[in-house]
Structure 1
Amino acid sequence: MRFTISLPANYRLQDVQAFHSRDAESVAEEVRPERIRKGMLLDDVAVALTLHLSPAAAECEADADCPQPLPASLQQRIRDAALNMLGLRIDPQAFLDFARDDAMLGPLVLANPGLRIVQSATVFEALTWAIIGQQINLPFAIALRRTFILQAGRQHSSGLWCYPEAAGAARLSAEDLTSRKFSRAKAETLLRFAALVASGELRLEQAADNSIDEISKALLAVKGIGPWTVNYGLLRGYGYADCSLHGDVAIRAALQRLLGEDSKPDMARTERILQQYQPHRTMAAAHLWASLHGRPNESA
């Protein structure tokens, strides 16, 4: 399967490459200056998706371990994954127009007008990554993510590992993860979430009867999943434009720097500050992260 995605003017390839190359020992991603290759399970099919990158377009090539032609539903999931990985769900222009004259974020926005939110390939990947990354540092979270892929995923015929789906993760036991440095609480939350998705009890697909608000409420009802995890999952999984990351330590650190204060604002105050940027709080978060790191990459 081959298709082309046009890229907008002044597209920042470096942000996309930085996000997908966070793990220097990655088993499911290969990132080079001219291409990104990603392994993932989609509808229980091992897919290796290659994005050949140029300033104007991404030439996309999907190699699926299944008989051809691919079902239309799988083709659509592959296209969706490519759009997510390229960060094309949120147009940054809307936030640029909204915040260019803002006293606090205006200078950040004008300095990085093309900044985008790069997403995980699938919603399930984004939410499991959010669970894995809760309350630990980035290098440790990356190592646990790699372990999760090797435990629950599957190798593509090319040798690239594929990020798992819910069914594969739900087959694991807590001991499969705790024996590999996962905390008991993190392992149980991850497997509880996977089991609910695999059974169909927790629906992640947006639909007329399953809005973002309803998905958020259902996620918050899962033991071990809190507001930060939900908002981060909405941001990286759905490309939702109005996520409030007031519980994120890096966001609070960025605000402390911008405000010139001696300590980070607490979560309640951070939430109030971010409310000024509704309905664009996701892009506000991206610019706050970038003010610390030079790119929209958070601490976990």
Structure 2
Amino acid sequence: MRISIPLPPGYRCADVLAFHSRDLDGVAEQVTGERIRKGVLQDGVAVLLDVTLAQGMALCEVQADGVLTAPAVAKVDEALHNILGLRIDPAPFLALAEDDPLLGACARRNAGLRIVQSATIFEALTWAIIGQQINLPFAIALRRSFIMQAGRQHSSGVWCYPEAPDVARLAQEALTSRKFSRAKADTLLRLARLVADGELTLARTDAPDQVERSLLAVKGIGQWTVNYALLRGYGYPDCSLHGDVAIRTAFQRLLHEDAKPGIARTQALLEPYRPHRTMAAACLWASLNQREDE
């Protein structure tokens, strides 16, 4: 199955390619030149998303190791839009913030910056649990192990990120024996079993406050994980990432202050950028790798 997805003017291919290149070993994502190959499971079928970024167009070849139902085909299309960062349009944030005294210069420097989503909400949630409170290289290594424990290899050789039923079948020792803390393993398995049993739904149509309540009710999931899921999984355009240390560090730098603002003050600093606080967060993250005179 071939799908062509138009890319908007000013689309920043390099940002998307960099996001999918984080794991240099390329277990479930492989990036070569302008091409992304990503493995996903859709309703139990191993699927390879083979995407080439051309001029103004994403040329997508979908290779399924089995028959995809109509709902699964819809999920594939959704996954493609997610991994290409097409869910949130950055233009409204730029229009709001380009003359802003605090974020204006940063917004102009990062015009066209996009938030790349995980292929599925479940992937975003599990990645948030895996990566919380550990350094990025270790988190990537754990994620790789998680995929190879619970996922499945596509006929192309690319591993597919697991769905909830695949993770729910794991024993705790399958994770703890591979350097997962007991707390991370328990939370991952608890989440997967709730989703697999239908006790917790992960629907993009749910309102953010409803999502927040249902996720916080899961033992082991805290506010940071919820915020990450809202941003990278659900793709909501107005996530307030005031608890994120990097956001607070970026504000400290922009304000030229000696200490990071507290969480309450950071929340207040983000308030003027409603309903585009997700893009404000992306802009702040990007600023940490830029000089203010760039």
- TM, length-normalised to structure 1: 0.94
The equivalent residue for 1:265 is 261
The alignment-based identity, stated in percent, is 66
Q: Within 1, Cα distance between the matches of 2:20 and 2:199?
A: 30
Q: Which moved more, 1:91-100 or 1:272-281?
A: 272-281
- TM-aligned CA deviation for residue 250 of structure 1: 1.0
Answer yes or no: is the 8 Å Cα contact 1:11–1:55 preserved in 2: no
Q: Which amino acid aligns with 2:173?
A: E
Equivalent position of 2:89 in the other structure: 91
TM-aligned CA deviation for residue 33 of structure 1:
1.5
Q: How does 1:164-175 map to 2 (within 5 A)?
A: 164-175=162-173
Equivalent position to 1:152, from 150, 153, 156: 150
**Cα separation, 1, equivalents of 2:137 and 2:194:** 28
What is the correspondence of 1:241-280 to structure 2 with a 5 Å cutoff?
Answer: 241-280=237-276
User: Contact between 2:237 and 2:275, CA under 8 Å: does it hold in 1?
Assistant: yes
Gaps of 5+ in 1: 295-300
Q: Report what 2:23 is aligned to.
A: 23
3-state DSSP of counterpart to 2:107: helix
**Which structure 2 residues correspond to residues 1-300 of structure 1 after superposition, within 5 A?**
1-67=1-67, 70-207=68-205, 210-293=206-289
CA distance in 2, matches of 1:132, 1:55: 35
CA deviation profile, 1:118-162 (whole Å, cap 9, x unmatched): 111111101111111111111111111101101110011111100
One-letter amino acid of the structure 2 residue matched with residue 264 of structure 1: K
- Distance in structure 1 (CA, Å) of the matches to 2:18 and 2:201: 30
CA contact (8 A) 1:100 1:106 kept: yes
Q: Which stretches of structure 1, 4 residues or more, deviate above 3 A after TM superposition?
A: none
| Cα displacement string for residues 224-253 of structure 1 (whole angstroms, at most 9, x for unaligned residues) | 111111111111012100111111111111
Q: Secondary structure at the match of 2:288?
A: helix
- Taking the aligned partners of 1:153 and 1:26, their CA distance within structure 2 comes to 14
Query: Distance between the aligned counterparts of 2:172 and 2:289, measured in 1?
Result: 34
Contact residue 203 and residue 215 of structure 1 kept, 8 A: no
SS in 2 for 1:96: helix
Offset of residue 95 of structure 1: 0.2
Paired residue type of 2:86: L
The residue identity in structure 1 corresponding to 2:279 is M
Q: Distance in 2 between matches of 1:248 and 1:262?
A: 18
1:261 Cα deviation after fit: 1.0
Contact 1:130 1:233 (C-alpha < 8 Å) held by counterparts = yes
State the one-letter code of the partner of 2:267: E
Q: Distance in 2 between matches of 1:121 and 1:201?
A: 22
Residue identity opposite 2:286 in structure 1: A
Cα shift at 1:275: 1.6
TM-score, normalised to structure 2, is 0.96
- List runs of 5+ in structure 2 lacking aligned partners: none
CA distance in structure 1 between the partners assigned to 2:208 and 2:182 by the alignment:
29
1:87-142 alpha-carbon deviations (Å, 9 max, x no partner):
00111110011111111111011111101101111111011111111111111111
Q: 2 CA distance for matches of 1:248 and 1:136?
A: 14
Shift of 1:176: 1.0
Contact 1:13–1:55 (8 Å) recurs in 2: no
**How far, CA to CA, are the matches of 2:245 and 2:172 in structure 1?**
28
| 1:264 CA drift (Å) | 1.2
Deviation at 1:192, TM superposition (A): 0.7
Letter in 2 for 1:212: P
Alignment length, in residue pairs?
A: 290
Residue aligned with 1:293, SS: coil
Letter in structure 1 aligned against 2:272: Q
Structure-2 separation of matches of 1:135 and 1:277? 27
In structure 2, C-alpha distance between the alignment counterparts of 1:157 and 1:213, rounded to whole Å: 40
| Superposition deviation, residue 213 in structure 1 | 2.1
